[in-house]
Chains A and B, each alone.
Chain A
């Protein structure tokens, strides 16, 4: 059974600081997704990582994927208050029901001024 774990679960950081959120998954996968959710809102797609070594960047966020280690990271550079949200990673495994997207526990990010 595919399991997806994120850490930390909660992250409080000051504006201008850097930090990384980690996402581990339990079975082979070649796709990894990152989503953002604001309080009371839906999930917004941030990144889709499709191969080992894939790296994508958007503004102050950069995501990477290491399929051999079954690990993805979301790096935050020089955080600003607008980045405060819950971040989820998700993957669908490989083979069989490859479209069955399973989510991690989420990381609640609070950026303090």
Chain B
């Protein structure tokens, strides 16, 4: 099992540009989560999906952020337009409702820098 795969690992972009982060969850997992990590705010849950359907997006900071999960093996988090305050590490995680005891598996993260 390759684990949760995120791309890119690093992204540097200019303010105002569109940024798309990608995530491939573990096969068979039916939950997918997007987190953001910063020094000031720690780990924040942005949005999560169950069976490709968004369940709770209350953590999405504003309309500039959007997330999709077109199928069970792929999700995107898009920021448009990006701002310097969006600089953070974005993690994707997945879990299985049938194996909740195993916890949540995190990807390696995408370090986003907006200049």
* Chain A residues in the interface with B (C-beta under 8 A): 31, 33, 41-45, 48, 50, 88, 97, 99-106
Q: Type the 1/0 row for B102-114, where 1 means its CB is closer than 8 Å to any CB of A.
A: 1111111100000
Residue in chain B with minimal CB distance to A92:
B100
Find out whether the CB atom of B43 lies under 8 angstroms from the CB atom of A88: yes
Known: A99-B48, A99-B50, A99-B95. A33 touches B104 (CB 8 A): yes
- Across-interface contacts of A103 in B (CB, < 8 A): 35, 42-43
Main DSSP-derived SS at the B contact region: strand
Q: Which 10 A-B pairs have the closest CB atoms?
A: A103-B43, A43-B106, A45-B103, A42-B106, A48-B103, A42-B108, A99-B31, A33-B103, A105-B42, A48-B101
Known: A33-B103, A45-B104, A50-B101. A102 touches B50 (CB 8 A): no
Q: How far is the CB of A51 from chain B (nearest CB, A)?
A: 10
Instruction: Count A-B pairs with CB separation below 8 Å.
Output: 46
Identify which of residues 22-37 in chain B touch chain A, using a CB-to-CB cut-off of 8 Å: 31, 33, 35
* Chain B residues in the interface with A (C-beta under 8 A): 31, 33, 35, 42-43, 45, 48, 50, 55-56, 91, 93, 95, 97, 100-109
- Across-interface contacts of B104 in A (CB, < 8 A): 33, 45, 101
Find out whether the CB atom of B55 lies under 8 angstroms from the CB atom of A97: yes
